[in-house]
Chains A and B, each alone.
Chain A
Amino acid sequence: MLLEAKNVRKLFGTTVVLDDLSLDVDEHQVVALIGASGSGKSTLLRCVNLLEQIDDGVITLDGEDITDPRADPDRVRQRIGMVFQSFNLFPHMTVLENITLAPVRVHKRALPEAKAQAMEWLTRVGLADKAGSYPDRLSGGQQQRAAIVRALVNSPRLLLLDEVTSALDPELVGEVLTMIRDLKGDGMTMVLATHEMGFARQVADQVVFLDGGRVLEAGPPAQVLGDPVQARTRQFLARIIEAGRL
């Protein structure tokens, strides 16, 4: 088990955002979190990356309790990559500088080596010609691919993807999804919060339906998306189909 969340609870003030939530992710597995806005998908990812503190329960990574207050959050995050809905590239740095920042400053790699590795990745995802550009010169899809590369160059054990296509124009969604599909081919372990049901069905090994901060239903995509047991899941999927997203 690479990642294990056990009975996790998270409160914002008195609002319960994650409620007794448990989740297992095996190595090389892709888990898709689905559910309505406010169901806790993003919060769960932020808790795993220790950007938020949980209020009860345990999260372990490679068997190590990362929610132990004595654990060094910086060292934990070095093993987890995260990609955000709005890319969050650093606007004052070129694409290449964005990507080499953590390898050089956190992982203490030599700059030429970090640059070479970054260029390798950029070439692979078709962004080699954008290495010297600033993020505001890139399309949303290009920015998101650069942001994914920025997370990948640190060779994370686990990649968290928080609605990475939600801020993209429809015609740019495909390029990002293709990249994620390729990463699955590489054996990358990923947890992704997504509204792209079709994509979740294709790429996920396990689909988890969150509702009100709880796991309401989890299983293989064909079952959860095709033949859900819970009425709440059926209702959610019906609305998605109505909106033309499945």
Chain B
Amino acid sequence: MTISDIQRGRIAYRRGKAIRSVLLAAGSTAVVGVLLVFAVTGSPGWDRVKGSFFSWKIAKQSLPAVLDGLWLNIRMLVVCALLALALGLVIAVLRTLRGPVFFPVRAMATLYTYAFRGVPLIIVIYLFAFGIPGLRLQGTPNVYVLGGAALVVTYGAYLAEVFRAGIESVHPSQLAAARSLGLTYRQTMRHVVLPQAVRRVAPPLLNDTVALQKDVGLVSLAGPIDAVRAAQIATAENFNYTPYIVAAVLFVLLALPLIAVTDWATLRAARRQNAGS
């Protein structure tokens, strides 16, 4: 394909403009960065803050214990996220059931989402981890399971609402098409509504999973030592806050892949919508 001189000129102009933009962005970023560094390191208390928050020695010392705690966070996150997603989906579907037989199911599912979106997670953890063993029943599970259950029950309520929003966003004409083919209500949900609903709400679902990742640590209130609790112990031992910074960095690193996936899923959903599907 031959390119006309006019088009060649346009391409050259656009390329020049792109290079200028990159240089400008780099320049302004450098200026802002230098200003920030000056503002922080130039402050009167910087030396003390540096010593008590950014001590390389203590960071290295506390890392193994914090990593140990983080391993608990990761395991609980994976298990709790999967269970909460499953619970949320079930509750959301129960809330869409019609017919008088299902009234109690519907009512209970609704009550559940209302209640557990309202109660602070910390209180749910206390109730589960201390209240349930207090019943002195045979075979009461350990604190990890109870704390995890508190997380699942709380996040299940949030996720149920996200799923429900997704289910309601599927256009009625899709239901009409499915029913007109002779599919039952259940088959319509399973093959037509839910697949579209879940795809549509994937970004907010993942977002809630990122939030869960941070809240998993709250089970430490009931005893288990997670990354934050481990950092707190290390901080108390050294009279130095560096372990918190270590834990914070580790949490950010842990969240990055999930956040990246969320952004990617959001972008893809937006593109699909723009494609007019």
- Which residues of A pack against B, CB within 8 Å? 46, 49, 51, 73-75, 77-78, 80-82, 84, 86, 88-92, 101-102, 105-107, 134-136, 147, 150-151, 154
Q: Which of B173, B174, B177, B275 has the most CB of A within 10 A?
A: B177
Q: Given the known A-B contacts A101-B181, A150-B181, are A84 and B192 also in contact in the complex, defined by CB atoms under 8 Å? A: no
Q: By the criterion CB–CB under 8 Å, are A51 and B174 in contact?
A: no
Q: By the criterion CB–CB under 8 Å, are A51 and B182 in contact?
A: no
Q: Verify if B248 is at the interface (C-beta below 8 Å from A).
A: no
Q: Verify if B121 is at the interface (C-beta below 8 Å from A).
A: no
B181 to A, closest residue via Cβ: A102
Q: Given the known A-B contacts A88-B173, A88-B174, are A101 and B191 also in contact in the complex, defined by CB atoms under 8 Å? A: yes
Within 8 A of A (CB), among B246-277: 272, 275-277
Q: Given the known A-B contacts A86-B173, A105-B191, are A91 and B277 also in contact in the complex, defined by CB atoms under 8 Å? A: yes
Q: Verify if B180 is at the interface (C-beta below 8 Å from A).
A: yes
Q: Can you sample 26 A-B contacts with CB below 8 Å?
A: A51-B179, A73-B179, A74-B179, A75-B182, A77-B179, A77-B182, A78-B182, A82-B180, A84-B177, A88-B177, A89-B177, A90-B192, A91-B196, A92-B195, A92-B196, A92-B199, A101-B191, A102-B182, A102-B183, A105-B191, A107-B182, A134-B277, A135-B277, A147-B177, A151-B181, A154-B181
Q: Verify if B132 is at the interface (C-beta below 8 Å from A).
A: no
Q: Given the known A-B contacts A86-B173, A88-B177, A91-B196, are A136 and B187 also in contact in the complex, defined by CB atoms under 8 Å? A: no
Chain B interface residue count, CB cutoff 8 Å, equals 21
Q: Verify if B96 is at the interface (C-beta below 8 Å from A).
A: no
Q: By the criterion CB–CB under 8 Å, are B182 and A154 in contact?
A: yes
CA distance A136 to B277 in the complex (A): 5
- Residues of A within 8 Å of B140, CB to CB, are none
CA distance A89 to B177 in the complex (A): 8
Q: By the criterion CB–CB under 8 Å, are B196 and A88 in contact?
A: no
CA distance A153 to B272 in the complex (A): 29
- Residues of A within 8 Å of B187, CB to CB, are 105-106
- Residues of A within 8 Å of B176, CB to CB, are 46, 51, 84, 88
Report the minimal beta-carbon distance from B64 to chain A, rounded to whole angstroms. 47
Question: Please, what's the 1-or-0 string for B157-197, where 1 marks a CB less than 8 Å from any CB in chain A?
Answer: 00000000000000001101111111110010001100110
Question: Please, what's the 1-or-0 string for B139-161, where 1 marks a CB less than 8 Å from any CB in chain A?
Answer: 00000000000000000000000
- Residues of B within 8 Å of A46, CB to CB, are 176
In the complex, the 7 A-B pairs of residues with the closest C-beta atoms, listed nearest first: A88-B177, A78-B182, A136-B277, A102-B181, A82-B180, A106-B182, A77-B182
The contact of A101 among B173, B179, B183, B196, by CB within 8 Å, is B183
CA distance A89 to B187 in the complex (A): 16
CA distance A147 to B174 in the complex (A): 12
Report the minimal beta-carbon distance from B159 to chain A, rounded to whole angstroms. 20
Q: By the criterion CB–CB under 8 Å, are B184 and A74 in contact?
A: yes
Q: Given the known A-B contacts A92-B199, A136-B275, are A74 and B183 also in contact in the complex, defined by CB atoms under 8 Å? A: yes
With A77-B182, A107-B182, A136-B277 given, name 10 new contacts (CB 8 A): A51-B180, A74-B179, A74-B183, A77-B180, A91-B196, A92-B196, A134-B277, A136-B272, A136-B276, A154-B182
CA distance A75 to B187 in the complex (A): 14
CA distance A78 to B179 in the complex (A): 9
CA distance A234 to B153 in the complex (A): 66
CA distance A88 to B188 in the complex (A): 14
- Residues of B within 8 Å of A150, CB to CB, are 181
Report the minimal beta-carbon distance from B264 to chain A, rounded to whole angstroms. 18
Report the minimal beta-carbon distance from A50 to chain B, rounded to whole angstroms. 8
A107 to B, closest residue via Cβ: B182
Report the minimal beta-carbon distance from A91 to chain B, rounded to whole angstroms. 5
Report the minimal beta-carbon distance from A66 to chain B, rounded to whole angstroms. 13
